[in-house]
Each structure stands twice: as C-alpha cells, then as structure tokens.
Amino acid sequence: MLHLLKQPWPWYVAGPLIGLTVPALLLLGNKSFGISSSLRHICASCMPANIPFFKYDWKKEAWNLFFICGILLGGMLTVKLLGDPNPVSVNPTLAKELAGYGITDYRNLIPEDIMNWRSLFTLKGFLLMIPGGFLVGFGSRYAGGCTSGHAIMGLSNLQWASLVATVCFMIGGFIMANLILPLILSL
C-alpha cells in the first residue's frame, strides 16, 4: 500500500477524488470549495483594521480555516513520510529548453535556480516573485475566486461566471507559459 501512495496517481483516479469533494462539501454542510477565500478569513480574524471588506462574521467560515490547515499539514506529512528523495523527473526536451534559461537543478518541486532569496534581488527573480505574486492575488480577488473555486466548485454548479473565469485563467496561463515566461526567463 505504501508503494501506491508514493507514486503519482493517474488522472482518472485523482481527478474524480478531487471532484468528489464538491458534492461531499455540499452534502455535509452546504459549503463551497475554494482556497483563496481562506486568506480573506485569516485577514478578517487577525486584522484589527477597520476595513469594510473584512467586516463580516468570519467565524461562520472557520471550517475553511481547518480545511486549509489540513491541506498544509497533509502536504508536510506527505513530504516527510512519502517524499521521493530523487530529483523531479523532467522530460529531456523540456530539460534542454530549461537549461537554456539556466535552470538545471531539479531537486525540488520549484527550481531553486530561479526561486530563492538571491534571485529576489535580480530582475528575473523580482518579476517572477513580486509582481507575479501580486497579480495572482489581485486576479483571484478580481475574479471572485481562484482556479480551484471556479474550475472545480463553480463549474460543477453550472455558474456562468465560473466558466468565464476558468476560460480566462486558461488563456492567461497559455499566454504566460508560452509568451511572457520565456521572455522573463531569458533576462
């Protein structure tokens, strides 16, 4: 059994398991699945500022904070107990392309060649981490949720706004991965 847990699960197993969280949350407590809303709950519970966006009864959504803590704890336990000490397996064609951008270290899920404290003080690292992080946060707020909330929960509830948001996420992802990211990595 441990061997099965250490291997990547095929899409036809992992996908339905993720998809089943939607009806489970709806049936168990009429709750919505989404990750970015948790940051709002954390800010509402911790910030003493008088900001209208954070003035609501966040305690009704405390379950979401436990959900996020479970994701964090589950991830940490998985890395500790089931982590693979070998470098991340990268397709040779992609590895050759990434080497052209100076990315050759595959020991971690996120390449330390571009994501580290030293890189933060380079133009490439700064663009990836600061404006990139801001745009992800701004985009999820502007869209009224993140990819998990819209693509998993919203689409399963047949929400038109979630379909539009998911299509925009996908188009933005394709543009970023194929046009903008190569420009940033070549800096």
Per-residue pLDDT averaged across 49-63, rounded? 81
pLDDT given for residue 152 in this prediction: 85
CB of 85 closer than 8 Å to CB of 93: no
- Band of the pLDDT at 56, cuts 50, 70, 90? confident
Per-residue pLDDT averaged across 142-171, rounded? 88
Per-residue pLDDT averaged across 37-52, rounded? 80
> In the numeric block, which tokens belong to residue 66?
């436990």
- Band of the pLDDT at 130, cuts 50, 70, 90? very high
DSSP assignments along 114-142, one per residue: TSSHHHHTSHHHHHHHHHHHHHHHHHHHH
Q: Tally the C-alpha atoms within 13 A of residue 26's C-alpha that lie toward its C-beta.
A: 10
Dmax of the chain from CA atoms? 53
- Band of the pLDDT at 139, cuts 50, 70, 90? confident
Q: Convert the pLDDT of each residue in 79-120 to its tens digit.
A: 888 887 888 888 999 999 999 988 998 888 788 888 889 988
- Band of the pLDDT at 61, cuts 50, 70, 90? confident
C-alpha pair distances (Å), 58 with each of 24, 45, 65, 90, 137 = 22, 7, 10, 42, 20
The pLDDT mean for the chain works out to 86
- Report the percent of the chain where pLDDT is more than 90: 27
pLDDT given for residue 113 in this prediction: 86
More confident residue, 124 or 61: 124
More confident residue, 78 or 171: 171
| Separation of alpha carbons 93 and 98, rounded Å | 9
